[in-house]
Amino acid sequence: MQASGQQLFTRNESLTLKALCIIIVIMHNYLHMRGYADENEFQFYAERAAHMWQLLLHPTPSLPLHIISFSPPYCLIGFLFISGYGLVKRYEQVNQSFDRRQFIGRHYVKLLRLVVLPMMVAFLTYKVLRGHLPLKWFDSLLELLLLGNLQWNASIYPFVYWYLGMAMQLYVLYALVLRRPKGHYGLWHQLLLIVLVVGCGVLQMCCEPTGMTIKWLRVNLVGWVGPFVLGMVTARHLDHIKLSLWQWGSIALVSGALMIASSGHYYAWIWGWLPATIFAVSCIKALPCLQWRPIVWLGSISAMIYVIHPIVRAVSLHYKHPNHPVADLVIYMVVSIILAAGYAWLLRRLPGKPHH
C-alpha cells in the first residue's frame, strides 16, 4: 500500500489488522474441530447462535475460546477491507495507467505462487494421515487453480483455500467493473456500488438459511463484496476523517454491540459485515498500542500463515491430546507461525517474484 498525504489507515495499522484477523482465523480453524462453538460462516443455523448466547449468559473459563471459535465470519472482513482499501491506494493514482488483463494475470499468478506448494503439501499430508485424498482428482485440480468455488457443491473442508478463489473473483470484479478510467467516479458509479452491495445482500436474504444456495453464494464473492467495497469507498472518500482516540473507542463500542446483536438473526447476520468492519477499523484506530512490532510483523506474513496453517492443523488434530486442548492450540499456532516465516523467506528467494 502506498502512502499518501492524507490516509486514514497507515501501513502499520493495516498490518496490525491483518495480524489480529489471522490469529483469530487460525485459532478458529482449530478450535471448532475440537468441539468448541460452531460458527455460522456460510449458512445460518439458529441453534448455533442460541448456543453461543447461552455460553455468553453462563460464562465458563473456556468462554474466550468459544467466542473465537464462533467468530471467523467477522475476521475475514478485515482482510477484505484492507484489500479494497489497498487497491485504491495502489491503482487509482492520478493519471496512472491501468491494464485490466495485466492486472488480472498478475494477481492470479501471485495467488497461485502463494498457494500451490502449501496446497499440494496439505493434500499429501491428508492422504498420509487419512489414507485418501480429501477431494477427487478433478475437484483437487479445480481448487488448485482457484476455481473450486464455482462448483455448486464446492468443498470447503478440510482446507481454507476457498478464500483465495473468492479473492481472485474480487480482483476480477475490481478490474472489469469497479475501477474506472482516470478516476472518474460520478454519481452513476456511486449508485453502481450501492446496487452491487445491496443486491448481493438482498439475494442472500432470499435464500434458505441452511440451504445450498446461501452456502454457494458465501463461498463466492456475493457473500463478501460488502467489506471489499467499503474499503474502496473509504480510500476514495473518507481518508480525510480525523477522530480522537475516545471517538474511535465510542464507535468501536457501538459497532461491537451491533456486531454481537447481528449474530442472532438470519437477516441481521447477512448484514453483520458492516458493524464488524467498522468495529475492526475503529479498534485499530482507538488502540495504537496494538501496533507492537511483533504484531506488525505477523501481519506482514499473514498470507503465508493462512496457506500454511491447514497443514499444521491436520497433523495437530491427528495427534491431539484429549486432555490438553489449550497446550495443543499453542503448539499448533507457534509451529504455524514458524513455518509461515520460513515459507515467506523461501518465497522472497524464488525467481519470478510478482510485483505487489
Q: Is residue 108 part of a domain?
A: yes
Q: What pLDDT, on the 0 to 100 scale, is given for residue 355?
A: 44
Q: Is residue 344 part of a domain?
A: yes
- Calculate the alpha carbon distances from 77 to 22, 90, 195, 275 in Å: 11, 20, 20, 10
Q: Is residue 3 part of a domain?
A: no
Q: How many residues does the chain have?
A: 356
Q: Is residue 69 part of a domain?
A: yes
Beta-sheet strands, E only, within 170-283: none
Q: What pLDDT, on the 0 to 100 scale, is given for residue 353?
A: 53
Q: Is residue 354 part of a domain?
A: no
Q: Is residue 6 part of a domain?
A: no
- 3-state SS class at 187: helix
Q: What pLDDT, on the 0 to 100 scale, is given for residue 184?
A: 67
Query: Cell 470484479 sits at which residue?
Result: 173
Q: Is residue 331 part of a domain?
A: yes
Q: pLDDT in tens for each of the 356 residues of the chain? A: 444 456 788 999 999 999 999 999 999 999 988 889 999 989 999 999 999 999 999 999 999 999 999 987 788 999 999 999 999 999 987 777 889 999 999 999 999 999 999 999 999 999 999 888 888 888 889 989 999 999 988 777 778 999 999 999 999 999 999 987 666 677 888 899 999 999 999 999 999 999 999 999 999 999 999 999 999 999 988 888 889 999 999 999 999 999 999 999 999 999 999 999 999 999 999 999 999 999 999 999 999 999 999 999 999 999 988 888 899 999 999 999 999 999 999 999 887 654 44
Q: Is residue 5 part of a domain?
A: no
Cα 183 to Cα 179: distance, rounded to the nearest angstrom: 8
Q: What is the Cα 9 distance to its own chain's centre?
A: 18
Residue 241 CB neighbour total at 10 angstroms: 12
Q: Domain containing 231: what range?
A: 11-348
- Calculate the alpha carbon distances from 14 to 234, 252, 283, 290, 321 in Å: 13, 17, 12, 11, 36
- Calculate the alpha carbon distances from 138 to 115, 126, 154, 180 in Å: 17, 17, 12, 37
**How many domains does the chain fold into?**
1
Q: What pLDDT, on the 0 to 100 scale, is given for residue 169?
A: 97
